[in-house]
Chain A
Amino acid sequence: KAGVTQTPRYLIKTRGQQVTLSCSPISGHRSVSWYQQTPGQGLQFLFEYFSETQRNKGNFPGRFSGRQFSNSRSEMNVSTLELGDSALYLCASSLEQGLSGNTIYFGEGSWLTVV
């Protein structure tokens, strides 16, 4: 069974540009969540999607958005990139949302560098 797949793995963008990251969850998983990891802030929750609906959202500005498709694949978009958006963006999937014992499986992440 394939794991969580994130693309692209590495990318460099310029300040002011926008970026779209993609995540394919484990087959059968319907919940997808996104996280930002930086040396200074650690791992921070961005948002979670379930059945194409955003169910939870972290404390990030509106420049960060996401969506989920009917096949559970998800994308996140960051507009008007800032230097501080440079980070490892991790996607995770789970079978259902919020249920007891629901294990979250992570992808390898997308490394974004903003110059």
Chain B
Amino acid sequence: AQSVTQLDSHVSVSEGTPVLLRCNYSSSYSPSLFWYVQHPNKGLQLLLKYTSAATLVKGINGFEAEFKKSETSFHLTKPSAHMSDAAEYFCVVRGRSSASKIIFGSGTRLSIRP
């Protein structure tokens, strides 16, 4: 069975400061992990994905995430927040078998203070 937990429902940071959005996962097998962003009234856009290659994954818009198997974590980071980063972020896990479902985290709303 798989599950994903986003540890913070809301994160607020000042523009120009680092961003950390936390995600822990549970999976019986080595999973694929994704981060998606959703701006208001929009669909989901892929930020980055982990698929058992490099553990540090770089995505779009300066975001990156590190897969830590020992901690079962896949936290999303960005060195310097921009006002346009304000959105909802979803951590997603999917197993490797054809029968595996796609599991979404509950989402983290990121607010950016001027």
Taking beta carbons and an 8 Å cutoff, which residues of A are in contact with B? 4, 33, 35, 42-45, 48, 55-56, 58, 90, 92, 97-109
Contacts and interface: CB of A to CB of B under 8 A. Distances in A.
A42 B49 CA distance: 21
Contacts of A48: 101-102
Contact-residue size bin, chain B (C-beta under 8 Å from the other chain): 20 to 34
B97 interface: yes
Contact of A103 (B43, B49, B95, B98): B49
Contacts of B99: 55-56, 98
Contact of A55 (B94, B98, B107): B98
A92 B97 CA distance: 18
Contact of B43 (A45, A90, A98, A100): A90
B107 A108 contact: no
A107 B98 CA distance: 22
B94 to A, nearest CB: 8
Given A100-B96, A101-B51, A43 B32 contact: no
A45 to B, nearest CB: 6
B34 interface: yes
Contacts, number: 63
Interface in B83-109: 90, 92, 94-104, 106-107
B56 interface: no
Contacts of B103: 45
Contact of A98 (B34, B51, B97): B97
Contact of A42 (B44, B45, B100, B106): B106
Nearest to B30: A100
Nearest to A9: B41
